[in-house]
Structure 1
Amino acid sequence: MKPLSLQGHTRALTRVRINNDGDLLFTASKDHSPTVWFLENGERIGTYEGHTGVIWDIDVSWDTRHLVSSSGDPSVRVWDVETGKQLNYIKVPTVGRSVSLSYSGNQLAFTTIKVALNPPSLCIADIRDPSHMAGDNIDIQLDSAGANCCAFSHMDDTVVIGTTGGVLQQFDLRNPSDAINFSVAHSSTINDLQVSRDEGLLVSSSNDRTAKLHDARDLTLLKTYKSGRPVNSSAISPTHPYIAVGGGEEAMTVTQTAASAGQFETKLFHAVYENEFAYFKGHFGPVNTLAYAPNGKVIVTGSEDGYVRIQELDKEYFDYDPDY
């Protein structure tokens, strides 16, 4: 496995995304500037300037026209990918914690956290509608357990959120008043949700040291992957029955020990048999975010150490036989 290490951020990574064509990599961190790179060689193309706070999440549309970002400044912004120009701006009452674009790229979902008297919420906006972008959007108030992550689970119809209480909730945007599906998936905070390329499966990552695979239609639990340390992010291979899992102990708990004690490596599990069959190292902090390239041949990881690593997968990875 041949890694390429990128240093373009001054603080910890919060999200890496790869566009649908597989040629561009988008990264966000706790500094103020989402960044775009060429995935093939790691060349930095540019940044999107305008935020004044932590960037918690980003997403890119299927046609790579729009990039959306959620921040602690607090706002959610829509950018033109090619020019870097800010197209729209939603002022939110509290921190914009996560963001997701629908299949068409027209619907935008984002979550906010509880601050003072402002409850946590899930908001839905149509980026084509000026009134929605001005704040007149669908606002679903959540209970005291706010959501750190959200993802469109089917086309433009349904959104899934993962709460700090370990619960998955699915909302139908045609009737968003109540959750249509509900699952107590984890015993601790859910940090990340990622949907498979065909929108059939959903993988959740949690501080309870597991990643879990669910049916994206009704949140039925299918498989559990035990990592042995807090899981910050997981991704489903688009080409093979594999799950990539990243995380690690918090830096403060391993400060005076070897990096290996923090288990900062990215682990690979067989999706069906739930066994770990490979891992790769490189980061010296917890892996906060990871993503598969659309061709399934590259995994990108972003860490608390401020580095992005592009990991090209070797032939042995594709030839793996679980031997059952």
Structure 2
Amino acid sequence: MPKTLKTSASTDHPLLLGQSKLWVLLVGVDRYQDERFSDLAYSSKDCEGVAAALASASKRIPKKQLIVHHDASHKPPTLRSVQSSLRKIISSAQADDTVLFYFSGHGAIDPATQKAMLCFRDTRRTDLANTALSMQDLLQSLEKSATRQKLLWLDACHSGNLSIQGAKQYADVESEATGFIDFLHNSVNYSQGFYALLSCDAEQRSWEFPELGHGVFSYYLIQGLRGNAADSQGLIEADSLYRYVYNGTVDYIDRINQRVRELNDEKLGKRDSQDSFLYPEYSLQTPKRIVNGIGDLVIGETLLGGGEEPSTLPQQWTEKPKRIEKIKQPTRLFYPMIGLLLVGFFSHSLSSSGIGQLSQQNQTTELFESNQPCNINAVPLDPDSSQYNAQILMNNCAVGGKWRDVSIEAFTGQSKVWALALSPDGRTLVSAGEPVIEIWGGVDSHAQARANEVQRLHRLKGHSDKVYTVAISPDGQMLASGSADQTIKIWNLQTGDLIRTLKGHTGAVWSVAFSPDNQTLVSGSVDKTIKLWDLESGETTRTLAGHQDWVFSVAISPDGQMLASSSQDKTIKLWDLQTGNELKTITGHDDAVRAIAFSPKEPRLASASWDGTVKVWDTATGALVRTFSGHSDRVVSVAYNPTGDTIASSSTDQTIKLWKMDLETSLGTMSGHSDWILATVFTPDNNALISSGLDQTIAVWRKMK
């Protein structure tokens, strides 16, 4: 557990004494407006994770300012916005202050000037000079500041996910890495007190891994800041941090390649090597350090105090042995990356030629057996018929029960899927995207149903930003959607026509819920309020205030008497829906409460939290009934099945877990998504579970008869 981030042994550092200030500017870019740049999966999460680790490590520093720009933050990762924050820091930093700049996203070499450029959301590939930030300009800006201590952490040579089609040409990535390193080597002699840490060396690329939920460089950077790079006194030296990140990155990729070689050896032993499709290995990635005088500037002259357990990153990220042990579970670890990528399941990320190559081999790939999650058999079907034509069977789960044998089929939307809603008859599914809403028909929960029977009925365009939440009225006639554009829209579910737009929130709308009588809609927002709306008039009937941070989720009890809300302030509040009176505040989670759901049968409420747990509460007393632990990262959705005896939860660890009140451990774990799973919903007949997430995939998990 880190006490200090340092370069000298002194604990009387000006930062800890409040005599100097720590300035941190963190930037992460996943999504690019220019299609010439591939979107990245983990840069925003990298940025958020580094921010949380730094915030925790600097708790003992009285004077500090962290400015964060990423796709999900208040400050967008655009060139103008980042430049504005940079100017603020440069003009304000004093001589004894420390400035840290972190960037995770695409880098590029300007073909006209051969300058190394950092690329932001609005960067245009054909106009890098005016829409990207050159490293030269960045370093010149840092040199203009009065501070003598400057740190630069760059993860800007991403390969994107390893997929058959490839997010970028590898030659481009490798030339970018070389360009950044050459520039920094040439510039370092002119910059005193300079310490740069890069994700890879020349002619290399920076890898991202779904099982880590981060780029590997940033993952180990976060772990190091969280304490794994600390000495016996809890102090983190800059060079110790570098060595930890270097060794962790190299070791992780080497372990993966060892397992890939084992898979290939097994394949070669079963069939002629010339006919066997071999899985590609990952190329070397060795983080690079560029320093002007090791003693002149190290993160250690900038003591980043701490010592308490951080509140926003999961505990297991500080437990290196447990995390590294996941390398021994090849079923979980390798299927997203070994060229197969669950053929057809992630059809949006596979080229037809890639699928065809597997299909022509007439190959059924069987990965090693693993107790958790389930063993996977992926069967590639005809690639020319339909993007839906794929079937994946999961079996031999570690824990028995009705979900032991599950068939999975999936279909893909046009964007990341933030939320799902299912009609009362279970035949119509609604998915919330960025910013389009899609209505799907032909959803069938029976085991023999095929995903290619699902048809897109409507694509609803009206919101101007991400749609975070959707709900269908109990009578199946209306659809409500809430968006980052601060509005709620009411649609006719059958025709897709817009009925009205509800305005009143001053922040993004994260959750909506219908009352059982179809008369009232409840919404929760970033503006920390809950609003009740009359659906006949479209007017606000009541605004409930009480939460101290974003309201993430709202839910109404089956009898329509009670309203529940959950917030980033770590609390759940229960309200009288008729009077608006607050009944009680429930505490017990250690981090934001991302989702809540009422039991359909008992006075119980389930909650999902960023602290990695699912909790069940007695709504009459507010007492904690049960805590379920098992996810390795934030839990972001929770749902009861129709009979109320099973709870499903999904997580940023890319798994779904099923829980029963009478079991200490999960009923089962289901894997298949390649990114955060943000929504889960049971079908009314209890025969299937539907999930969606940031991988643009909607998966239907059906019980096998």
Sort the TM-score into its range (normalised by shorter chain): 0.7 to 0.9
For residue 286 of structure 1, what is the amino acid of its counterpart?
Answer: W
| Separation in structure 2 between the aligned mates of residue 66 and residue 199 of structure 1, nearest angstrom | 27
Q: Which residue of 2 aligns with 1:74?
A: 486
| Separation in structure 1 between the aligned mates of residue 603 and residue 414 of structure 2, nearest angstrom | 34
Measured after TM superposition, the shift of residue 192 of structure 1 is: 1.0
- The 3-state SS of whatever aligns with 2:667 is strand
1:20 and 2:424 aligned: yes
Q: Which residue of 1 aligns with 2:220?
A: none
Q: Which residue of 2 aligns with 1:258?
A: none
Q: Sort the Cα spacing of 1:309 and 1:124 in 2 relative to 1 into closer, same or farther, 3 A.
A: same
Measured after TM superposition, the shift of residue 140 of structure 1 is: 1.5
1:190 and 2:593 aligned: yes
Q: Sort the Cα spacing of 1:72 and 1:240 in 2 relative to 1 into closer, same or farther, 3 A.
A: closer
For residue 408 of structure 2, what is the amino acid of its counterpart?
Answer: P
Measured after TM superposition, the shift of residue 184 of structure 1 is: 0.2
| Separation in structure 1 between the aligned mates of residue 419 and residue 519 of structure 2, nearest angstrom | 21
Q: Which residue of 2 aligns with 1:155?
A: 559
Measured after TM superposition, the shift of residue 288 of structure 1 is: 0.8
Measured after TM superposition, the shift of residue 226 of structure 1 is: 0.4
Decide whether the 8 Å contact of 2:558 with 2:600 is kept in 1: no
Decide whether the 8 Å contact of 1:224 with 1:274 is kept in 2: no
| Separation in structure 2 between the aligned mates of residue 138 and residue 274 of structure 1, nearest angstrom | 41
Measured after TM superposition, the shift of residue 296 of structure 1 is: 1.0
Q: Which residue of 2 aligns with 1:126?
A: 534
Decide whether the 8 Å contact of 2:440 with 2:458 is kept in 1: yes
Deviation readout 1:201-238 (Å, 9 max, x if unpaired): 32110100001112344433211110232111121222
Of 657, 663, 680, which residue of structure 2 is paired with 1:290? 680
Q: Which residue of 2 aligns with 1:57?
A: 469
Q: Which residue of 2 aligns with 1:140?
A: 544
| Separation in structure 2 between the aligned mates of residue 62 and residue 202 of structure 1, nearest angstrom | 19
Q: Which residue of 2 aligns with 1:305?
A: 695
| Separation in structure 1 between the aligned mates of residue 683 and residue 602 of structure 2, nearest angstrom | 16
1:87 and 2:499 aligned: yes
| Separation in structure 1 between the aligned mates of residue 654 and residue 510 of structure 2, nearest angstrom | 24
Deviation readout 1:72-106 (Å, 9 max, x if unpaired): 12211111111111112111232222111111121
Q: Which residue of 2 aligns with 1:238?
A: 642
Of 497, 501, 516, which residue of structure 2 is paired with 1:103? 516
- The 3-state SS of whatever aligns with 1:13 is coil
Q: Which residue of 2 aligns with 1:224?
A: 627
Give % identity: 19
Decide whether the 8 Å contact of 1:153 with 1:216 is kept in 2: no
Q: Which residue of 2 aligns with 1:38?
A: 442
For residue 485 of structure 2, what is the amino acid of its counterpart?
Answer: D
Uncovered stretches (5+) of structure 2, i.e. residues with no partner = 1-405, 445-452
| Separation in structure 1 between the aligned mates of residue 460 and residue 602 of structure 2, nearest angstrom | 29
Decide whether the 8 Å contact of 1:154 with 1:217 is kept in 2: no
Measured after TM superposition, the shift of residue 68 of structure 1 is: 0.5
Structure with bigger gyration radius: 2
Measured after TM superposition, the shift of residue 154 of structure 1 is: 4.3
Q: Which residue of 1 aligns with 2:666?
A: 276
Report which structure shows greater RCO (CA 8 Å, sep ≥6).
1
Equivalent residue pairs, number: 290
Decide whether the 8 Å contact of 1:239 with 1:295 is kept in 2: no
For residue 489 of structure 2, what is the amino acid of its counterpart?
Answer: R
- The 3-state SS of whatever aligns with 2:507 is coil
Q: Sort the Cα spacing of 1:175 and 1:25 in 2 relative to 1 into closer, same or farther, 3 A.
A: same
Decide whether the 8 Å contact of 1:168 with 1:185 is kept in 2: no
For residue 430 of structure 2, what is the amino acid of its counterpart?
Answer: F
User: Which segment drifts farther, 299-308 or 199-208?
Assistant: 199-208
For residue 534 of structure 2, what is the amino acid of its counterpart?
Answer: D
| Separation in structure 1 between the aligned mates of residue 703 and residue 459 of structure 2, nearest angstrom | 28
| Separation in structure 2 between the aligned mates of residue 285 and residue 94 of structure 1, nearest angstrom | 26
Uncovered stretches (5+) of structure 1, i.e. residues with no partner = 115-119, 249-262, 316-324
1:179 and 2:617 aligned: no
| Separation in structure 1 between the aligned mates of residue 550 and residue 656 of structure 2, nearest angstrom | 27
User: Which segment drifts farther, 71-80 or 140-149?
Assistant: 140-149
Measured after TM superposition, the shift of residue 188 of structure 1 is: 0.5
For residue 65 of structure 1, what is the amino acid of its counterpart?
Answer: Q
- The 3-state SS of whatever aligns with 2:495 is coil
Q: Pick the structure with more strand per residue.
A: 1
Measured after TM superposition, the shift of residue 43 of structure 1 is: 2.1
Q: Sort the Cα spacing of 1:25 and 1:185 in 2 relative to 1 into closer, same or farther, 3 A.
A: farther
| Separation in structure 1 between the aligned mates of residue 479 and residue 701 of structure 2, nearest angstrom | 24
| Separation in structure 1 between the aligned mates of residue 502 and residue 698 of structure 2, nearest angstrom | 28
| Separation in structure 2 between the aligned mates of residue 28 and residue 231 of structure 1, nearest angstrom | 19
Q: Pick the structure with more helix per residue.
A: 2
- The 3-state SS of whatever aligns with 2:601 is coil
Deviation readout 1:87-146 (Å, 9 max, x if unpaired): 1211123222211111112110001213xxxxx211001201x2xx14x42111234222
Measured after TM superposition, the shift of residue 34 of structure 1 is: 4.0
- The 3-state SS of whatever aligns with 1:295 is coil
Deviation readout 1:18-57 (Å, 9 max, x if unpaired): 1111111111123332433331142222122211111111
RMSD: 1.8
